[in-house]
Amino acid sequence: MTKEDIPFLDLITVHRELQDEFVEVLKTALKSAGFIGGPMVQGFEEDFARFCEAQLCVGVASGTDALRFALIAAGVKSDDIVLTVPNTFIATTEAVSQAGAQPDFVDIDPKTYAMDPGKLSEYLERKCRWNTKTRQVFHNETGRPVTAVVPVHLYGQMADMDPILDVCAHYNIKVIEDACQAQGAEYFSRKDNRWHKAGSMGHAAAFSFYPGKNLGACGEAGAVTTNDGEIAQTCRLLRDHGQSKKYFHDIEGYNGRLDAIQAGFLRAKLHHLPKWNEQRRQAAERYDKFFAGAEGIVTLPYQPSWSRSVYHLYVVQVEDRARLQKQLSDVGIGTGIHYPVALHLAKAYEELGFRLGDFPIAERSAAHILSLPMFPGLTLDQQERVVTEVLKSLSVNSISELK
Ligand SMILES: *Cc1c(COP(=O)(O)O)cnc(C)c1O
């Protein structure tokens, strides 16, 4: 890497800046040798619940565990159907399968990249029937009940929760937010006329603290947030081998606990998260401004009036994505693709029998999206250079030509 190179994500600077705080956390942990659970985990859980405006938080070992535990605790059972979107990280659908259920998909809104609530209604109305006795909705073809929906707050922006919650309440379906990319994102509910934080709206929500997320551990970590005491209690059992107290196993669970040291690091970093999210928003605004005028050539992220995104990623669409990515890489600019294969077409899901054309919006976006450098501390100069190189590659001569 040369000095002019611009990484897709800079994780080094922030950890260097906070080194002293992290050393204090380590010293505290070493003093008590309480490496699993204990006051550091509890302290983080309380702080993170407050941050999300949720009543309860259960720290776990990863975002994948958080999703799996939340689904099981919400009552998802073997052979149920759980609906999500095709354009997410595979952990979303892995958690569904690992809970014993079968993932199925609804397509996304082309502008927000999140679940299209209209298509969710359509799925439940056209492909399913309501059983008054069991108060469940059953998929016509397979006879399986649809018991949960997992909207994914992708790239740091929340899905349109009002209509999703409405239709799910109507059909007695649980809503588990995949908030792994959306720590601090907000949604304006037209129904209650106020803003809500990601992780406070569904029956439960899953967060990942994988290092590259907006709030990242120095290793693996995750959390479930919920306002439902029973869901929280079941998640606490599930993360710790089903133990209500040591060696008294109420159910079979998993080893899915949150390390005390990671909880301590996360608690220290959580204080900085509002500032970091604000820096991401400012960086996104600057990109938006620099690209203004290139509409039709570069499709920019769309933020509806009901959304305050935390820009986990800044994702654009261009016609020839492969060429742009190669040219940026040639001049030392890092990019990413989140994600190149819509999950219904992934090899892992071959047996589900989906075909190209089943979810055209997700498929089209998978072919054209490109994530540009985005992290707190990304400078104006770096962004100007990214935009100049993007426009050069797309044969638009300079930023000023567009002004
Ligand atoms: C990161 C991520 C996950 C998984 O989290 P891990 O902590 O890596 O297990 C799940 N869903 C989405 C959308 C993610 O971005």
Amino acid present at 400 = S
What number is the average pLDDT over the span 151-179? 98
Q: What is the 3-state secondary structure (H, E, C) of 223-260?
A: EEEECCHHHHHHHHHHHECCEEECCEECCCCCECECEH
Determine if ligand 1 sits within 6 Å of the CB of residue 155: no
225, 295: one domain: no
pLDDT at residue 296 in the model: 86
Assigned token pair, 107: 């397509």
Residue 71 CA to ligand 1 centre (angstroms): 15
235, 335: one domain: no
pLDDT at residue 261 in the model: 97
Give the C-alpha separation, 365 to 178, whole Å. 20
35, 102: one domain: yes
141, 198: one domain: yes
Ligand 1 atom 14 nearest Cα: 180
Domain end: 203, 238, 270, which one?
Answer: 270
**Does a structural domain hold residue 39?**
yes
Residue 400 pLDDT greater than 90, yes or no? no
**Does a structural domain hold residue 5?**
no
Which domain range does residue 329 map to? 274-402
Residue 207 CA to ligand 1 centre (angstroms): 7
**Does a structural domain hold residue 246?**
yes
207, 301: one domain: no
103, 208: one domain: yes
What number is the average pLDDT over the span 248-258? 97
Beta-carbon contacts of 9 under 8 Å, excluding residues fewer than 6 positions away, are 212, 334, 373, 374, 375
220, 278: one domain: no
pLDDT at residue 399 in the model: 58
What number is the average pLDDT over the span 22-46? 95
CATH code for the domain of 384: 3.90.1150.10
Chain-centre distance for alpha carbon 100: 22
**Does a structural domain hold residue 2?**
no
Beta-carbon contacts of 122 under 8 Å, excluding residues fewer than 6 positions away, are 106
Residue 180 CA to ligand 1 centre (angstroms): 5
Q: What percent of the chain has pLDDT over 90?
A: 96
Amino acid present at 199 = G
Give the C-alpha separation, 333 to 137, whole Å. 49
pLDDT at residue 136 in the model: 96
If you average pLDDT over every residue of the chain, what do you get? 96
Residue 178 CA to ligand 1 centre (angstroms): 8
Mutation probe of ligand 1 site: the residue of 67, 89, 177, 209 with most atoms within 8 A of C-beta = 89
Is 73 in contact with 61 (CB distance < 8 Å)? no
17, 153: one domain: yes
pLDDT at residue 293 in the model: 87
Residue 36 CA to ligand 1 centre (angstroms): 22
292, 255: one domain: no
pLDDT at residue 397 in the model: 55
239, 313: one domain: no
**Does a structural domain hold residue 4?**
no
Backbone torsions φ then ψ of 85, nearest 5 degrees: -105, 155
Give the C-alpha separation, 35 to 255, whole Å. 14
Determine if ligand 1 sits within 6 Å of the CB of residue 63: yes
Beta-carbon contacts of 57 under 8 Å, excluding residues fewer than 6 positions away, are 44, 45, 46, 48, 49, 223, 224, 225, 232
330, 247: one domain: no
Residue 146 pLDDT greater than 90, yes or no? yes
pLDDT at residue 4 in the model: 85
Over residues 64-106, the pLDDT tens digits come to 999 999 999 999 999 999 999 999 999 999 999 999 999 999 9
Mutation probe of ligand 1 site: the residue of 153, 181, 218, 224 with most atoms within 8 A of C-beta = 181
Domain end: 249, 270, 291, which one?
Answer: 270
Give the C-alpha separation, 74 to 148, whole Å. 8
281, 306: one domain: yes
What number is the average pLDDT over the span 325-351? 98
Mutation probe of ligand 1 site: the residue of 208, 213, 371 with most atoms within 8 A of C-beta = 208
**Does a structural domain hold residue 27?**
yes
How many domains does the chain divide into?
A: 2
